[in-house]
Amino acid sequence: MVGTTTKDTEETVGALVLPVDDRTGDGYDWLDNLTGSPWKVMGAWGIDGWDAESWPYVFFATAIHRNEIGTLYGYGTYVEGDTYAHWYRAEDACHRAITAEVFWYWKHGQADGPSNLPASAEELTEQYTKPYGCIHR
């Protein structure tokens, strides 16, 4: 557990640590660090399961943590060896953040996304803003 601030409510909470990269391999090696942890790799986003990232350089992972106040929704990224974790009190806020980051990869040709992308992530229709089996229930 590590102290962090939720992105949507700005609460200081104890949250799960995203396993770090051991810096001896690539992203596939980092995936091994998720084994046995609450973090689950997220390979696709949107109802139709569009690519969410650019393997083996960029990976997304998701986790849920319950504390004394309630549920926290997290997503983490591995980007060429660097790891980042983001926590939210509201699941919808977490989904919006994931959508914004995935949209960037789609828009810049870094991941195989839909061909009919609007100018911004906020303009995406609902079918592109929902998890494809990534947030655990």
What confidence category does residue 78 fall into, taking pLDDT thresholds of 50, 70 and 90? very high
Domain positions in the chain are 2-128
- Asked whether residue 23 carries a pLDDT value surpassing 70, the answer given is no
**pTM higher than 0.85 for the full model?**
yes
DSSP structure class, residue 115: S
pLDDT score, position 129 = 92
Rounded Cα gap, residues 40 and 113, in angstroms: 21
Span of 31-35, 38-42, 62-66, 96-100 with lowest mean pLDDT: 31-35
